[in-house]
Chains A and B, each alone.
Chain A
């Protein structure tokens, strides 16, 4: 009988913690690891193939921005990939609705439609971003990255970097 009681209270506690954790991570903040080189040097400045995922950066993501969908240039965001809804990507916002974005390789200038944004990685040589799939709807955004929380020597805020060179002023 005692083990039965213990099991019951244990399940109940697990359930409660699950509920509270899920709510907090949906509405307020969550912690996610970042893999790959597309945002180096901001995240994962050097990937160590020996240690593998041990050297990944962990990011604190806030979700308050999802109430109004107000973003500014240079914010680092987490969004669902437009090609595969199960993947999430982390990139930097370059352009917001109404901006004109030019790409250095081709001479095209693209106007960003309403409700979309232009995202790019900080490492242009190995990043799959708006240069290949075009502007993405803001509805895919799942949060804004504010801090790096792990590893300990890299703890700190992530600041917005505006890259004026990519925006055409017209």
Chain B
């Protein structure tokens, strides 16, 4: 009987340790920084087509410090289960001028409304971004990419 008690106690404490570890993992992943695999042609000169692993941090968007030029991870407004990686083109109140997709020689100017950001891919020919679906609410931003860890020859910071 005593033996069983000891085993149960041991099992409980082990489970608690694992649970604590998972919680710590969740919190660092959601509030500090997490690795993300990004692929696709939309950010082409900056990020490769075949798939890069970037580290993204989750502090500055909570503090409201996302500005033009940052590469951000955004929950896609068209499909909430997907993430897109784009560059911020302007924050609220900014005037954004862009080439109309498909009709590539007309320019349009747009003022970003309150609480929204304008996101755009670096490869303007193959990117589905704010030029199609308009500015996105700031609340959709999930992180800011700041460091590339894979492939090895591109290892380094993603600064401006």
Q: Do A and B bind each other?
A: yes
Could you tell me which A residues sit within 8 Å of B by CB distance? 16, 19-20, 22-23, 26-27, 68-69, 80-85, 113-116, 136-141
Besides the known contacts A115-B79, A138-B80, 6 further A-B residue pairs in the complex with CB atoms under 8 A apart: A82-B137, A85-B64, A85-B138, A137-B77, A137-B80, A139-B80
Contact with A along B26-64 (1 / 0, CB 8 A): 110011000000000000000000000000000000001
Instruction: Report the separation of the CA atoms of residues A116 and B80 in the bound assembly, to the nearest whole angstrom.
Output: 9
Instruction: Report the separation of the CA atoms of residues A27 and B25 in the bound assembly, to the nearest whole angstrom.
Output: 13
Q: Shortest Cβ distance from A23 into chain B, in angstroms?
A: 4
Q: Shortest Cβ distance from B126 into chain A, in angstroms?
A: 20
Contact with A along B123-146 (1 / 0, CB 8 A): 000000000010011111100000
Given contacts A69-B81, A114-B78, A137-B136, contact A82 B20 (CB under 8 A): no
Taking a contact as CB atoms under 8 Å apart, the answer to whether B30 and A26 are in contact is: yes
Q: How large is the interface on B (under 10, 10 to 19, 20 to 34, 35 or more residues)?
A: 20 to 34
Interfacial chain A residues near B115, Cβ < 8 Å: 81-85
Could you tell me which B residues sit within 8 Å of A by CB distance? 19-20, 22-24, 26-27, 30-31, 64, 75-81, 113-116, 133, 136-141
Partner of B139, one of A23, A68, A85, A113: A85
Closest to B137 in A: A82
Taking a contact as CB atoms under 8 Å apart, the answer to whether B80 and A115 are in contact is: yes
6 nearest A-B pairs in the assembled complex, by CB-CB distance: A139-B75, A80-B139, A85-B139, A139-B80, A83-B115, A82-B137
Interfacial chain B residues near A85, Cβ < 8 Å: 64, 115, 137-139, 141
Interfacial chain B residues near A20, Cβ < 8 Å: 19-20, 23
Interfacial chain B residues near A27, Cβ < 8 Å: 26
Given contacts A26-B30, A115-B78, A139-B76, contact A80 B137 (CB under 8 A): yes
Taking a contact as CB atoms under 8 Å apart, the answer to whether B140 and A23 are in contact is: no
Q: Shortest Cβ distance from B131 into chain A, in angstroms?
A: 15
Instruction: Report the separation of the CA atoms of residues A22 and B64 in the bound assembly, to the nearest whole angstrom.
Output: 21
Taking a contact as CB atoms under 8 Å apart, the answer to whether A114 and B79 are in contact is: yes
Given contacts A115-B77, A139-B75, A140-B140, contact A26 B26 (CB under 8 A): yes
Q: Name the residue among A27, A82, A113 with the largest chain B CB count within 10 angstroms.
A: A82
Partner of A137, one of B24, B27, B30, B75: B75
